[in-house]
Structure 1
């Protein structure tokens, strides 16, 4: 766990280090505890709640509380709301961490993971720790994707990303362009519509899901696809085949009053605002980029595991090239719907079981049992 007398990290004390204290880190911690493993969860944030603490106030979950739960503890309903808000999710995660007495250290930032004899070392801003396995659950919120915008250096307005949005108040009466045809773009455009003069733009026309489709159906779809692929049947198509935008109450209201009609993506920025291919220029005070995120994996760079599109190849959640490393909660490539509260449960359970089955971990557990 700390540095040994020879100056190298000693992995003898910990079976696993979990990097990230959000929903994926807590879910896998729950299952590690059930296996009787020794582990720590390292969280860069100063308080519980993961990325939910940084979302804009009006954001709501796509599913009712009973379908938004981590393993072992149902999320209680939010009074007066069918779909809980971000603050409710923060309270739930805080209670979950406390209820199961999960060993979270914060704030601790993991800077690098590297190989050592018998395990992996994690260099942090507070020192070096080591364990027989590392589970990375750092998510994507800390790594927003900002596309190149020709002319941005000449644009006089403000450019921000989803991560910077804190609500409509600062944009009241302003001209705002919202970029991105997914859920964040639709929700932020709907949030702004009563307060600002908005334009919603996307590279292709956004596809609204049927009004009766919410997170429950999306999870069922992702599960059905996983089962089909595991059984060798043809790919039935996943969540993306259904559409791009879940129709929350706010999105439905904005859509029904024709406030959510998306224009094609503009070509470049002029000093006063975006310009389209036909020469049209629309003045804009701000541009909000709802353009998605990339996995936050910089701490794994010393292991040299990335391949195509910057991803680390995995079987389930285990790294193909480093069997002591697991990745959880980054999207479907690390488990169907694993970036959601309800979806992370199964891959978290499988990850904990795989860690418990590592030869190094089995040997250590045997030694502890013999010593006891």
Structure 2
């Protein structure tokens, strides 16, 4: 039975950053990636999303990010990730779909179908893209039009000439309205009143936003995205939608869905052809369930008052791309922190064997 010092699950930005730092520390490890090719979640994003549209891709360690140009993000970022993997000879195995991780005493066992890997430590870097969140509303199964989630978004031309209801109060909803309002009829519904900001989002503001996410993780609560606490901003490419009133006529959530539209609590009805659910994602951590890492509050509590990456219930396990490290900048920093956490866990295990 071969035992590796660490297994990283996921080869997106957080996973690659972690692998880079593990290699620099001389820690024997493997990276298991569910995708057929490099690129993490970026390779699955819609064709119309360009590098000029994305919020920003933080550079990987010892690398520069792709140029902010008109090229497709689902091509530029995967290409840069592929180059990075090759340049640093990162030990990635793909495609590997991890089913579950179990505890075998001193070792953790990573299961993927009939394949198994035994490891002393684990870094979970699976992000959120594979876990789209779709809320349930009465009557949604009777709707005869299209219902699409962010993960299914085919690009703006698909919606031309259709009446589109965008549901959600985050950055994706703002972006969708920005490209759809100039070419078709749109409506916007959110659970809460949007919080807009017009001041500069500088590093100090970013740190304050991340701190709010850290507080939840420190308490073992399910994490909120960093974007959810930063507020919403309009970019230049969304000003035309603003001029057309796409953001001013926001409605509270409807009460139910009917065959050809939605019914609001006051009894009014709006006919729509498409419901576009920009309702976010949840952490992809179902495979960790056998380890019982969740707190009574429903989330996985991390060390250092939520600023670290080590699971409080099992110091052999690191989580990156979870909670405060779910942003592109946070994911890169978390890779370094996780690698150091792995080293600490290995040193602790070695000290225990020596004293025993």
Q: Map of 1:87-236 to 2, 5 A cutoff?
A: 87-125=75-113, 127-210=115-198, 212-213=200-201, 219-222=206-209
1:256 equivalent in structure 2: 243
Structure 2: which 5+ runs fail to align?
A: 217-225
Q: Tell me how far 1:207 sits from its aligned partner.
A: 2.2
Q: Tell me how far 1:363 sits from its aligned partner.
A: 3.7
1:326 equivalent in structure 2: 318
Q: Tell me how far 1:331 sits from its aligned partner.
A: 2.4
Q: Tell me how far 1:351 sits from its aligned partner.
A: 1.1
Q: Map of 1:1-372 to 2, 5 A cutoff?
A: 4=1, 10-11=2-3, 14-59=4-49, 60-63=53-56, 68-79=58-69, 85-125=73-113, 127-210=115-198, 212-213=200-201, 219-222=206-209, 242-243=230-231, 245-261=232-248, 262-308=250-296, 310-315=298-303, 316-332=308-324, 338-359=325-346, 363=350
Q: Tell me how far 1:209 sits from its aligned partner.
A: 2.5
Structure 1: which 5+ runs fail to align?
A: 5-9, 230-237, 333-337, 368-372
Q: Secondary structure at the match of 2:238?
A: helix
Q: Tell me how far 1:104 sits from its aligned partner.
A: 0.8
Deviations 1:166-207 (A, max 9, x none): 212222101111100110111112222233211111112222
Q: Secondary structure at the match of 2:100?
A: strand
TM-score, L = length of structure 2: 0.85
TM-score, L = length of structure 1: 0.82
CA distance in 2 between partners of 1:31 and 1:195 (Å): 46
Task: Give yes or no for contact 1:18–1:25 (8 Å, CA) kept in 2.
Answer: yes
Q: Secondary structure at the match of 1:191?
A: helix
Task: Give yes or no for contact 1:55–1:86 (8 Å, CA) kept in 2.
Answer: yes
CA distance in 2 between partners of 1:310 and 1:223 (Å): 20
Q: Secondary structure at the match of 2:329?
A: coil
Task: Give yes or no for contact 1:70–1:341 (8 Å, CA) kept in 2.
Answer: no
Tell me the matched-pair count. 336
Q: Tell me how far 1:76 sits from its aligned partner.
A: 4.1
Task: Give yes or no for contact 1:52–1:86 (8 Å, CA) kept in 2.
Answer: yes
Q: 1:259 to 1:211 in 2, by over 3 A?
A: farther
